[in-house]
Structures are given as C-alpha cells and as structure tokens.
C-alpha cells in the first residue's frame, strides 16, 4: 500500500486524524459536573478529612493501572504484528500511565498530610509506587537512548511487557502484605452507597479523559512519524 504524503496527511479531516466526535464534549461536561459535586455535594467519609481528594486520587490510580496494562498489551501486539502504530500506542499508554501515576502520588501525599500530618513516610504503598514510577521513568529513558526504528520499538516492547507483569505486584500484592496507613474502607465493604456511586462516576470521567488524551496523542505521534519518514 502506497504511503501517504505529508500534504495528504495534513489535509485529512479532523475526524480521521484525531477528531473524537462527542467525546470531548462528554468529558468536559462530565468532569465539570464531577468537580462541582465532589466539592459542593459529596457526603463526608467517616474519620477522613479532605475526602474530596479521594474522588481524584482513586480514579487517577485506576487510570494509571489500566494505562500500564494497555501499554503491555500493545507491546505484545507489536512484537506479534510489527506495526509501527502499535509501538506508538504502547508508548503513549505508558506515558499516560506515568502521568496519572504521578497525579495519584501527589494527591495521595496531600491527603496524607491533611489526615496524618505527614505527606510521605515510606509507607509500603508509597514505597511500591515509587518503584513503579522509577520502572516507567526507566522505560522512557531507554526509548530516548535508542535511535528511532524497529530496533527501538522491539526493545521497548519487551521492556513494556516485563513492566506490565511487575506492575500488579507493586500495585496490588506487595502493599497488601504489610501494615499500611492507606484507607481500607473501600475494600472492607464499609463505603456508603452515595460515596461509591460518586467514586464510580468520577472514575468514568477520568477514564474518558484518558481515552481522549490517548487518541489525540496517538494521532499526533503517528502523523509526526509519517512526516519524518517522508522527509527521510
């Protein structure tokens, strides 16, 4: 199949190069409503101050985990099919995972400072999240150190798969093996229905936001790569 020229790519409608229809509108309206409800109408969480942070912290952690998982899946697909777009999707998913992991870490630190008087004390969950951040910072350092091409894509894919396998142990297994300050009310079934519904609604909003960013970044990176191939 003949590769499209840069001019042809640039002339494509937005719907083909990254337009997302009603998704941006949905994200804007949903997230605005979520922020207003979280700060104005959300019921208090027993024994916890600044509970509004939870409606941002938990969805960010969820999106980070899903994005890291998606990065590993796309990496496996790349090794199987060798399509450049799959390498782009794997890298963008890892990028989003790292971004939302940082946001989850920052909101967690603020929440910890308010409730327990210390933002960071190397709690087991804080320690494992630091390891997870370092794992994916190393992924991008690796990509930056290698010349663009199939070799970089293949090596990055192998690393992404290994990181994806390690990620659940850092997020789910190791933190639960030790005593932690991290609230357990959601796992113990003690969460009130209104709080749970609001948490789920917030998670939907953050997931849609991440999907929007993902598709925009993939379209932009794909366009840039095709343009670079035409130049070379």
Mean pLDDT of all residues in the chain?
87
Is residue 170's pLDDT more than 80? yes
Residue 145 has pLDDT above 70, yes or no: yes
- At 183, the pLDDT band (50, 70, 90 cuts) reads low
| pLDDT (tens digit per residue) in 12-60 | 444 444 455 788 888 899 999 988 998 888 888 777 888 899 999 999 9
**What digits encode the pLDDT tens for the residues 60-95?**
999 999 999 999 999 999 999 999 999 999 999 999
Compute the distance between CA of residue 47 and CA of residue 29 in angstroms, rounded to an integer. 31
* pLDDT at residue number 100: 98
Q: How confident is the model at residue 184 (pLDDT cuts 50, 70, 90)?
A: low
Long-range contacts of 223-232 (CB under 8 A, 24+ apart): 223/9, 223/10, 223/17, 225/84, 225/88, 226/3, 226/4, 226/6, 226/9, 227/6, 227/9, 228/148, 229/3, 230/3, 230/5, 230/6, 231/6
């Amino acid at each position: 199949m003949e590769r499209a020229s840069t001019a042809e790519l640039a002339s494509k409608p937005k719907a083909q190069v990254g337009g997302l229809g009603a998704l941006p509108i949905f994200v804007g309206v949903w997230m605005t409503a979520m922020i207003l409800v979280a700060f104005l109408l959300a019921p208090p969480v027993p024994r916890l101050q600044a509970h509004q942070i939870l409606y941002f912290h938990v969805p960010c952690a969820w999106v980070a985990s899903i994005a890291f998982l998606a990065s590993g899946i796309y990496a496996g697909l790349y090794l199987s099919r060798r399509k450049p777009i799959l390498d782009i999707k794997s890298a963008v998913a890892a990028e989003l995972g790292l971004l939302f992991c940082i946001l989850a870490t920052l909101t967690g630190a603020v929440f910890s400072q308010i409730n327990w008087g210390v933002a960071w004390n190397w709690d087991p969950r804080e320690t494992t999240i630091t390891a997870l951040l370092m794992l994916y910072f190393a992924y991008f350092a690796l990509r930056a150190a290698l010349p663009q091409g199939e070799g970089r894509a293949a090596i990055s894919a192998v690393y992404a798969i290994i990181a994806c396998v390690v990620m659940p142990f850092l997020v789910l297994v190791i933190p639960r093996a030790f005593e932690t300050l991290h609230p357990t009310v959601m796992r113990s079934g003690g969460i009130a229905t209104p709080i749970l519904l609001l948490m789920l609604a917030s998670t939907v909003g953050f997931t849609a936001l991440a999907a929007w960013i993902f598709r925009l970044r993939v379209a932009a990176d794909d366009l840039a790569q095709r343009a670079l191939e035409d130049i070379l």
